[in-house]
Amino acid sequence: MNTDRLSKRLETVAKYIPRNSKFADIGSDHAYLPCYMVKRKEVQSAIAGEVVEGPYQSAIKQVKQEGLTSKISVRKGNGLEVIGENEVDCITIAGMGGALITSILENGKDKLQSVQRLVLQPNISAFSIREWLLKNNWTLVAEEILEEDGKIYEVLVAEKGESPSLSEERALLFGPFLMKEKDAAFVKKWKLEKKNWQRILDQLESAPDSVENMQKRTELQNKIKLVDEVINNEEY
């Protein structure tokens, strides 16, 4: 992967960044995504945000090598604190856990006033993000699921507005767009999740009948049932 050729995962993120926008890539690592978008003249400008010194220096070096310092600002800081007020209209956060992405959004709420679109790619727990979007008046406008190098990723695209599509438990867990399409990566992901939950459930069957264990069993049984319903039912 480089600034001319992104991974399949980041290519999917890139295609949802609005053209001619000003965007911030949080956790930008080598700033591959900002460099890619600016070099292709897809965006006006970009901010590459990093909290860790090593990746921050790598991003500075990459942007200088590409001769893009006039279009890409590399900044060190925690989450959305690298963004000024009304400075960007799109934010991308890719390659982190869903819980971390939601904490970044929650802690940086004041920076979202001018933002029209969020493009989020959690490595795990997309559920956490959908739940945050629902609670904070953002609506999902697109979702994709893909497999790359043996790992399955989800990309969530959100814009401001109420999110009735996320009012159901199934939608929060599986994704309203993804559970309708049910492509190969989606089915593979949830069959693997079901297998893992069944393994844990089997272990719990021989565990003491504590309140905690009984609640965990019920929770896992419900999740397994939901997977079967969504994968096998044509209505979802």
User: How does pLDDT run across 138-157, given as a tens digit for each residue?
Assistant: 999 999 999 999 999 999 99
CA 207 to chain centre: 35
The fold for domain 8-166 equals Rossmann fold (3.40.50)
Q: What is the pLDDT of residue 4?
A: 78
Q: 3-class DSSP state for residue 149? A: coil
Average pLDDT over every residue of 185-211: 91
pTM confidence score: 0.93
Report the distance separating Cα 205 and Cα 119, nearest Å: 41
Phi-psi group of 151: left, alpha or beta (phi > 0 → left; psi -120 to 50 → alpha; rest → beta): beta
Element (H, E) at 63: helix 53-66
> What are the extents of the domains in the chain?
8-166, 185-232
Cα–Cα distance between 195 and 186 in angstroms, integer? 14
pLDDT digits (tens, 9 = 90+) for 78-125: 999 999 989 999 999 999 999 999 999 999 999 999 999 999 999 999
Task: Round to whole Å and give the CA distance between 49 and 7.
Answer: 19
